[in-house]
Structure 1
Amino acid sequence: MRRSLFLAVPAAVLAFLYWWAIENSVPEGPAYDFQIERLREAAEAPAGDRPIAISVIEVGRGRAPGFAVGLGLDFAPVDMTFSAFRVAYPDDASVLIEAPADRQVVEEELGGDFYPEQYARLVQAMDVADAILVTHEHLDHISVVPRHPRPEVIAPALRLTPPQIAALPQFAPNGVVPEPLDRLIAERFDKPRKVAPGIAVLETPGHTEGSLTIYVQLADGQEFLMIGDIAWNMRNIEKATTRPRIMQTLFFDPPEDRRTVQAQVRALHELSKAEPDLLILPAHDAAQQELLMRRGVLQPAG
Structure 2
Amino acid sequence: MPALTPLPAATPPVTMTIHQLPTGSYSTKANMALRGGSRRETVQFAATAVLVQHPSGDVLIDAGLGRDVEKHQQMLPGYRRVEHRVGSPVVDQLAAAGYDPHRLSGILITHSHWDHVSGVPDLAAPVLITAAEVTYAKKQGADKIFTSFSPGHPLREYTFDGGPYLGFAQSHDLYGDGSIVIVPAAGHTTGSVIVFVALPSGERYAFIGDLTWRLEGIEKNIERLFLMRLFADSDRKQVTVDRERIIAIADLVRVVPAHDERGFAGIPLLVQEAGRGPV
Range of TM-score over shorter length: 0.7 to 0.9
Cα distance in 1, alignment partners of residues 156 and 57 from structure 2 = 22
1:171 matched residue in structure 2: 145
The answer to whether 1:113 aligns with 2:94 is no
The answer to whether 1:194 aligns with 2:173 is yes
Instruction: For residues 189-218 of structure 1, give each alpha carbon's deviation from its aligned partner in whole angstroms, at most 9, with x where no partner exists.
Output: 262121124111111101110111111110
Unaligned regions of 5+ residues in structure 1, if any?
A: 1-30
Asked if the contact 1:189–1:202 (Cα under 8 Å) also holds between the matched residues in 2, the reply is yes
Residues 96/50 of structure 1: CA separation in 2 closer, same or farther (3 Å cut):
farther
SS of corresponding position for 1:116? coil
1:301 matched residue in structure 2: 270
1:263 matched residue in structure 2: 241
Post-superposition offset of 1:180: 5.2
- Trace 1:141-220 onto structure 2 (pairs within 5 A): 141-145=116-120, 147-148=121-122, 153-155=124-126, 158-166=127-135, 167=137, 170-171=144-145, 175=148, 177-179=150-152, 181=154, 184-189=155-160, 191-196=170-175, 197=177, 198-220=179-201
Asked if the contact 2:31–2:225 (Cα under 8 Å) also holds between the matched residues in 1, the reply is yes
In the alignment, residue 179 of structure 1 is paired with which amino acid? Answer: G
Cα distance in 2, alignment partners of residues 185 and 216 from structure 1 = 20
Rg (Cα) greater in structure: 1
Instruction: For residues 66-122 of structure 1, give each alpha carbon's deviation from its aligned partner in whole angstroms, at most 9, with x where no partner exists.
Output: 211114142311221001000123x59422110222232686543210013655226
The answer to whether 1:79 aligns with 2:44 is yes
1:242 matched residue in structure 2: 223
Instruction: For residues 168-196 of structure 1, give each alpha carbon's deviation from its aligned partner in whole angstroms, at most 9, with x where no partner exists.
Output: 792158x3644353xx4522126212112
SS of corresponding position for 2:152? coil
**Larger relative contact order (C-alpha < 8 A, sep ≥ 6)?**
1
Residues 73/130 of structure 1: CA separation in 2 closer, same or farther (3 Å cut):
closer
Cα distance in 2, alignment partners of residues 282 and 87 from structure 1 = 17
Asked if the contact 2:35–2:226 (Cα under 8 Å) also holds between the matched residues in 1, the reply is no
- Trace 1:1-150 onto structure 2 (pairs within 5 A): 40-41=8-9, 44-45=10-11, 47=12, 49=13, 52-75=16-39, 76-89=41-54, 91=55, 93-102=57-66, 103-104=69-70, 109-116=81-88, 118=90, 120-121=92-93, 127-145=102-120, 147-148=121-122
Instruction: For residues 244-280 of structure 1, give each alpha carbon's deviation from its aligned partner in whole angstroms, at most 9, with x where no partner exists.
Output: 1101213x3xx431111122222222322xxx24101
Asked if the contact 2:111–2:133 (Cα under 8 Å) also holds between the matched residues in 1, the reply is yes
Q: How many residues align?
A: 244
Asked if the contact 1:66–1:77 (Cα under 8 Å) also holds between the matched residues in 2, the reply is yes
Instruction: For residues 148-172 of structure 1, give each alpha carbon's deviation from its aligned partner in whole angstroms, at most 9, with x where no partner exists.
Output: 3x5xx313xx321113334279215
Report percent identity of matched pairs: 21
Structure showing the higher helix proportion among its residues: 1
SS of corresponding position for 2:110? coil
Cα distance in 2, alignment partners of residues 230 and 118 from structure 1 = 23
Cα distance in 2, alignment partners of residues 139 and 180 from structure 1 = 15
Asked if the contact 2:185–2:239 (Cα under 8 Å) also holds between the matched residues in 1, the reply is no
Asked if the contact 1:105–1:139 (Cα under 8 Å) also holds between the matched residues in 2, the reply is no
SS of corresponding position for 2:255? strand
SS of corresponding position for 2:28? strand
Q: TM-score, normalised by structure 1?
A: 0.70
